[in-house]
Structure 1
Amino acid sequence: MSNASPYPIGTPGHPWGASEIAAWRAGVHRHRSYARDVLAAIEALRRTFDVSEYGALVYDGERFPLMVVRSRDWRANLPTLVVTGGVHGYETSGVLGALQFLREHGLEQAGRANLLVAPCVSPWAYERIQRWNRDALDPNRNFREGSPAGESAALVALLAPLRGRTLMHIDLHETTDSDESEFRPALAARDGEAFVPDVVPDGFYLVDDAERPQPAFQRAVIDAVAQVTHIAPPDANGQIIGCPLQSPGVISFAVAKKGLCAAITGARFSTTTEVYPDSPRTTPQQCIAAQVTAVRAAIAYALGHA
């Protein structure tokens, strides 16, 4: 899907200023409840996990607590596993997949590893089904110290003590039709650039770290997810979102240079999932199941090769 018409906010060729960001924000509306969907689900996990607040966002007088779920039997001598979801609020299966994993499988590695899960990194965007935060910033390009995105800065601070001590980090995402119909056109308009349409990959794929590649780890996750939903084929140029394939269903970025979430911990094994929920070949529940399967496969491989 593509959209070649001019974006309705801003002047082509000119980056947005404060007035354009305000106009964009005025058109963004709440569609769902973080408290009902996420906080209530996390509250129910207190029976078996340590649950705490690692920060809060205050937007327009409304407070959004940022929540983390940890193993209750955390031990310094055990390997650490990190799962993050909802970095982009519109990517629903990442949030619901992280929560379902905790409910159904969160104790499977008890006594063998420490588990840390941040199920919804961007609650304001989750409620509004948006990629950006309130300030029209993409959290997944801003994971660094001193980040201007509050969502990113809070998670960086939470995970800083684990940097270089984390065995596995999996970050759960989606690629949707709205990437081409809304989010990439908005990005081009915000930055004063021309929008160049692309093709949304039809299926699940992974993003490896080009500077710290782990191809066998990526293949293990892809093989497991292929039992749940279909893997994205390459486009006519043999690529996925403009990147050559490392292996079927796997591409790679320099994730740290791009400020992506999967680079925060410096984990030995790291990956970013991408599910395509708009495909006629899958369902919302299959997308959630694909995220859960990816987490379990990533953990199994990492612990088997620790």
Structure 2
Amino acid sequence: MTLAGAAPLSVPFQAARRGPNRWLRAATPWLLLAPALLLLAVVVIYPIFFNLHASVHAWNLLEDDGPRGFVAGGTFAEVLGEPGFLNALRVTLSFTAAAVLLEFTLGLALALVAHEAIWGQRLIRTLLVAPIMATPLVVALVFRLMWHGEFGVINHYLSYVGIGPVVWLAGPNTAFLAILVTEVWHNTSFVFLVLLGALQMLPPEPFEAAKVDGANFRQRLWHVTLPLLKPAIALALLFRLVFTLRLFDEVWVLTRGGPNGATETVSILLYRAAFEVFDVARAGALSALLLALSAALAWGLLRVLYRRGPA
């Protein structure tokens, strides 16, 4: 568009005027993302490459100031061949499967109950969200007192029904159960919070149509609620899967991996390698294996949740 009596701008001149603005518009999103990308590179990407670099070199802080020599996959082969690692992997996978399943089941059930218009709804929601506010260390210390074989409150109440006293943290099976209960109590709140928020955002029309068609509660849950909740379910399961795989705080405070390795997870092995024997190569290999395991299980979970049904 030109002014009356003025000659139109030439095409090269118009392109020259639009050029800087077009470049600025294209670069603006990247300029806004630059601080976050830089922070991500510093706190995530660099440690990953550092661990990979350490894992393929012989490096022990008690003997060397830096990596001595390239050993390729020798450290990985050594770690994978150790019975201690295989036991820790079994404990980690067993604990993750049990904890995530229980947290999801309880979190979904509590979210469905809290979503209904019941008396004291706000108080119930507050109480259910409260556990996630506590840090893992505080939760572990409190439950360590509760699981105490002689003075614990759990044994105190079990004595009323003729059970106990049970030395919870001294037996392999009871120690595993104690840590599992502690973890589920602490983190079911996260699943509950995510699913409750998703439930409150669902449109009412599909549920009303299902009721009109005569669908009962189970049918509405399976064919309407769960499919609509799939993104929230994926988010909750993904977070709990990744965080449970690297569980450390509760295990270290309650049992330190005992008794006899019954609760020793991969994270406990990693801690011992890095901060007890100062074997940087072994710690780097364990860290890389834990990262690969987390990525593989997360990918498998998303594949299962978003797989296409039969045509």
Shorter-chain TM range is under 0.3
Which fold has the larger relative contact order, with Cα–Cα distance below 8 Å and residues 6 or more apart in sequence?
2
Greater helix share, structure number: 2
- Larger gyration radius, structure 1 or structure 2: 2
TM-score (norm 2): 0.22
